Amino acid sequence: GDRRFIMKATRFVLEHLDEPDFNINLLCHEMAMSRTLFYSRLKSLTGKGPQEFIRIIRLQKAAELLKEGKSVTDVAAETGFGDIERANIFVFNPYARWKYCNTGPVSLFLDGGIGVAGGDMDGFKIGIQPGLAVRVSKHVRFQAHLGFLGYCTNYFNDGVDGSEGFGLKFSSSDLKFGFYYTF
């Protein structure tokens, strides 16, 4: 029952892995289930929603292919991450971290630095970003940044071309989060 359900869903995702347009609707159709029913069953069995389920399978396959020595372009095409040929970007963003509150598993910090982006998404920024880190285990932390205070000029096409200025911003491009492993 449950194991077969997960295996069938995983198999469908793997069969359509190279299709960037493969989505929840197509997966539900393949599984012959409504979105609501599929979501409920998948979430109760894996703790993951359908989008996260598909993304995790894509990322795991991408990691396997990269370990085999395939190029990033080939891996992106084979795992449905779209045409990365169109994105010509490089980013240099060194920073220094100041922890101003470190109580048990939670840390509040400020990252200060300078960022330069070039290519299709060019710009420059210098300033600070506040953040929060939560220790999940001995080596794993969940970390989030929100906002930016400083000078910014068209960094990642965040504003209108040629826009620049100093100030405090809370836009979607200033929200970053993820899990980090420390050695």
pLDDT digits (tens, 9 = 90+) for 116-145: 766 555 677 788 888 898 988 888 888 888
- The token pair at 7 is 């295996």
pTM of the model as a whole: 0.47
Count CA atoms closer than 13 A to 182's CA, side-chain side.
Answer: 11
Cα–Cα dist 16/50, whole Å: 14
* Residue 111: count of CB within 10 angstroms of its CB: 17
- Summarize pLDDT for 78-116 with one digit per residue, the tens: 888 765 555 555 666 777 888 888 888 898 988 888 877
Measured over the CA atoms of residue 66, residue 68, residue 73 and residue 77, the dihedral's sign is negative
CA 132 – CA 116 distance, rounded (Å):
24
